[in-house]
Structure 1
Amino acid sequence: MTADDSHDPRLQPLAPSAFRDVIGHFASGVTVITTSLEGTLHGTTASAVSSLSLEPPMLLIAMNRESVTGQAVLDSGAFAVNILGEGDDELARRFAAKGGDKFAGVDVTLGDHGQPLLVDALAQLVCRVRQQVEVATHVVFLAEVHEATARPGAPLAYYRGKFGRLAFDD
């Protein structure tokens, strides 16, 4: 970069507010990441979830470094991804809130690896962390999927700060 380049707006860092506004145009599914650490259940709503590979089955999640659930995932080395279905807006809001007993009144079973599974979720994936990478404000977890179950239904969608549903053309 030359001295003249420092005034070129195309080379300036993007403002976080501009990034948030534009990335908000990307629709995503809604999940609740859960884990258990020393007998305590942890969970948080997340949309930063992506499949990574089929062989072996792997996915990635990104969690804020300050997340209590993210720290529990780091310490336990395992988590579950609970994919929420249409109408699970309230469950998504509950797990997005900070503090309190998020699991109170929520039906939960434990997967074969001890991770909490939300009974009413559309689908669940139980994962073991294979690697984690710290990037900016987040930790990206690369994980192998050991269990996967799903039931019929449509996913809960998230777009521009609101929950909704997908509409399909016939």
Structure 2
Amino acid sequence: MGQRFDSGHRGVDAVAPGPVGGETFRHVIGHFASGVAVVTGRDDAGVPVGVTASAVASVSLEPPMLLVCLNSRLYTCDVLAETGHFGVNILASGQDALARRFAYDPGDRFAGLRILPGRLGSPLLDAALARLDCRVVSTAEGGTHRVFFAEVVQAAAGEGAPLTYYRGRFGAFEESAGRRASRGA
């Protein structure tokens, strides 16, 4: 017999019948915690653009690839499709103000930030926990969003914990008690 894990939470009583609406889906998928990144690029005039994204995932190690999902109505989405490359800046715990700036601020989102040039020219945020410069390999449409599949051509990471997003809120990663105990911490 396999080991049984008890998380201490109350499980799902039943699956709702019928079609799943947008609000129901948002509520349910919000229970899936994710990291937070700022996806960046440069438009034809060389102006940096960027948007906060939590729909970022690794796809492959050989070659190193990831995917990013962005709302198709966003200018940043258009820029990435036109230029064929972008940066992914993984935010650190405590950088929720930076995440909000790139999610909501209509002004110059890059004001006061130190920008590093990626190998492909993508603007990378010096303050990010980790940075990747990516070349678009293909795209796909999915409902209101465009999915960018990209090969990672440059990557670097610092030390620290990531910013997380769960049920509409930013937070911090906390190692489980079981993991701490197994390390003897």
Compute the displacement of 1:98 (Å): 4.9
Give yes or no for the alignment of 1:166 onto 2:173. Answer: yes
Q: Which blocks of at least 5 consecutive residues in structure 1 are unaligned?
A: 1-8
Correspondences of 1:85-164 after superposition (within 5 Å):
85-164=92-171
**Residues matched between the structures, number:** 161
Q: Which amino acid aligns with 2:38?
A: V
Helix, strand or coil at the partner of 1:86: coil
TM-score of the pair, normalised by structure 1 = 0.92
Point out 4+ residue stretches in structure 1 off by more than 4 angstroms. Answer: none
CA displacement, residues 78-103 of structure 1 (integer Å, 9 cap, x when unaligned): 00100000110100000001521100
Q: Which residue in 2 is equivalent to 1:22?
A: 28
Q: Which residue in 2 is equivalent to 1:31?
A: 37
Q: Which amino acid aligns with 2:99?
A: A
Match of 1:54 among 50, 58, 61: 61
Q: Which amino acid aligns with 1:161?
A: G
Q: Which blocks of at least 5 consecutive residues in structure 2 are unaligned?
A: 1-15, 181-185
Question: Taking every aligned residue pair, what percent have the same amino acid on both sides?
Answer: 52
Report the aligned-residue RMSD: 1.1
For residues 167 and 140 of structure 1, the distance between their equivalents in structure 2, rounded to whole angstroms, comes to 30
Q: Which residue in 2 is equivalent to 1:3?
A: none
Q: Which residue in 1 is equivalent to 2:5?
A: none
Helix, strand or coil at the partner of 2:128: coil
TM-score of the pair, normalised by structure 2 = 0.84
Compute the displacement of 1:113 (Å): 1.1
